[in-house]
Amino acid sequence: MERIRVLIADDHTLVREGLRALLEGQGDFEVIAEASNGREAVDRAIQMRPDVVLMDIGMPELDGLAATRHIVRTNPAIRILVLTVHETEDYFFRVLEAGAHGFLVKDAASTELVAAVRAVHHGGVYLHPPMAKRLVEEYLQRIGSGEERAAHAMLTPRERQILALIGAGHTNQEIAEQLSLSINTVQAHRSHIIDKLNLHSRADLMRYAVRVGLLRDPG
């Protein structure tokens, strides 16, 4: 059986112990390390190369978003699932922009946490269901008004494919490898997408990409 190697980063000892007990009780998880602050999380992730990091946001020394950026920049193969008490859309996009592959609130059921870890480990992006529901409803509303449909029609098939992959949480490098393109080509496509959709920032692109990626097959 494949074992998923996990690093737990949280500044509360009881939380770390609870997460360890929950995961190790599943049979296919191995908690290889713990960290009580963001700096430790970065150091131990680099040293031990876990498959998945469970990352708390509000930690001392280095917050979880900054720690996520460091880890993703150093080793993009490590998958990061953020655990937070915040459940706002803006906060969700800050998490994705930092490079995390999943977003889960701390009051979620234990079964949801296990499913989320498995999902990000296998290359998916996990969205807390209430957040995913809001994003889909917003997308459908915009489609119904014709606003999103008109903008999306301006994109070429390749741009739509890349946009959906961005929405699925893939990095430029992963998109380049999957589509047999150079990173420069992927970056150029992303710039064209931003221009055509009249977006103004990476955050705007991520908002749009997640809505599209949730509903479209990037293949």
Helix (H) or strand (E) holding 123: none
pLDDT in tens, 30-52: 999 999 999 999 999 999 999 99
pLDDT in tens, 133-161: 666 666 556 555 555 566 667 888 898 88
What the chain holds in terms of domains, given with CATH numbers, is 4-127 (3.40.50.2300), 132-215 (3.40.50.2300)
Long-range contacts, 187-192 (Cβ 8 Å, 24+): 189/158, 189/159, 189/162, 190/162, 190/166, 192/159
Cβ burial of 204 (10 Å; 0-12, 13-18, 19+) is middle
> What's the gap between Cα 125 and its chain centre?
5
At position 15, the amino acid (one-letter code) is V
- pLDDT band (50, 70, 90) for residue 218: very low
Distance CA 193, CA 167 (A): 13
Residue with tokens 């479209």: 216
| DSSP H helix total and E strand total for the chain | 11, 6
- Range of weakest confidence among 2-6, 30-34, 74-78, 96-100: 96-100
Per-residue pLDDT at 200: 67
Distance CA 63, CA 72 (A): 14
Entry pTM: 0.67
